Amino acid sequence: MLKEPESVGAVVARNRVFVVAALFALTPIALKAAELPARRVQTAFLGSDLSLTITTNSLLIVFLPVLACAGTDWLLRAHPESRSGATPYLFPFWIAPAFGALSVALLLTRIPNWPLWFLTLAFGTLLFIVTLAAEYVGLAPGAPGYALSRLLITASTYAIAFVLFTLIYSARERSVISATLTALVAAGLALDLLGPHIIGLRSAGILAIITGLLVGQATWALNYGNLSAWSAGVLLLALFYCIVGVAQQYYQDKMAPNVVVEFAVVLAVAVFAAWQLAPVR
């Protein structure tokens, strides 16, 4: 018999994590097994013909992030902070799981052989579970395990940023598309890292938009060079890290010469790594 309400909440949260993780893992398998026929939708916009081809891969790219958002929200609503109304909004906590799910979906659509496909899905599901648990614990600043949860979220967010920056750049789309997508990813992930529940949604939102614009402009510039996707991903990640880091240090009143030196070293290492990865295609 459970004696404390917190124990009941922990059991409910754990059960919800398992349910969401199971749906996360089974959705790609179900779509892969179904092999739905491609459908082409045509329409006209401002006198121009537009067409959209709906495939199993496109459904996966849409469904998995949506499932991640819905599952994260469902999990967080079991948290005492959410039930008591102490946390006014939950959508910033969807960001890392949603973009993580998008990363997994994009990778799965590019893997041709089954063993590697299942391995990627298993690893992605494990990371998704860790991210869900970290988001749940990180909902209450000052709670036991909060520092570790933020560390896990930060690490996973930067890893997700690198994967998405690299995948978007590797598509070799026009700058108006690749730069816009990269800007949206950078802005969303920056909003999560800046902690709007701590510094305020307005301040975090403004800084996130600035971050997205700067990273998007950098992508536009990199498109003029013949860089490998790995090199571009490293450079964009380093820029993203420095912009978010400066914003965090500013709000914590920790800006100092040694901090500037740290970010300069990070950029220098990134440039060297990008140069080394230039032949890798």
pLDDT-based confidence at residue 256 (cuts at 50, 70, 90): confident
Q: Are 153 and 97 in contact (CB under 8 A)?
A: no
Query: What's the rounded mean pLDDT across residues 195-214?
Result: 84
Q: Is the pLDDT of residue 217 over 70?
A: yes
pLDDT of 25: 95
pLDDT at position 4, please? Answer: 43
Q: Is the pLDDT of residue 280 over 80?
A: no
> Mean pLDDT across the stretch 81-104?
85
20 contacts 71 by C-beta, under 8 angstroms: yes
pLDDT in tens, 155-169: 999 999 999 999 999
* Arithmetic mean of pLDDT, 81-98: 82
Render pLDDT for 33-46 as a digit per residue (tens, 0 to 9): 887 777 777 776 55
What is the CA angle 23-160-88, rounded to 5?
Answer: 70
Q: What is the mean pLDDT of residues 7-16?
A: 78
What pLDDT sits at residue 50?
A: 64
Sketch the domain layout of the chain as residue ranges: 141-281
Query: Which has more confidence, 57 or 85?
Result: 57
The CA distance from 212 to 194, in Å, is 13
Q: Does residue 7 have a pLDDT over 70?
A: no
Dump pLDDT digits (tens) for 42-75. Answer: 776 555 566 677 788 889 999 999 999 999 999 9
The share of the chain scoring above pLDDT 70, in percent, equals 90
pLDDT at 3: 42
Residue 6 has pLDDT above 90, yes or no: no
Kindly state the average pLDDT of the residues 65-87: 86
Query: Residue 244 corresponds to which amino acid?
Result: V
> Residue 121 pLDDT > 80, yes or no?
yes
Gap between the Cα atoms of 256 and 238, Å rounded: 19
**Spatial separation of the C-alpha atoms in residues 106 and 180, rounded to whole Å:** 17
Q: How far apart are CA 154 and CA 11, in angstroms?
A: 26
| Rounded Cα gap, residues 254 and 256, in angstroms | 6
pLDDT of residue 122: 96
Q: How high is the pLDDT of residue 175? A: 82
For residue 178, give the amino acid letter: S
**Prediction pTM value:** 0.86
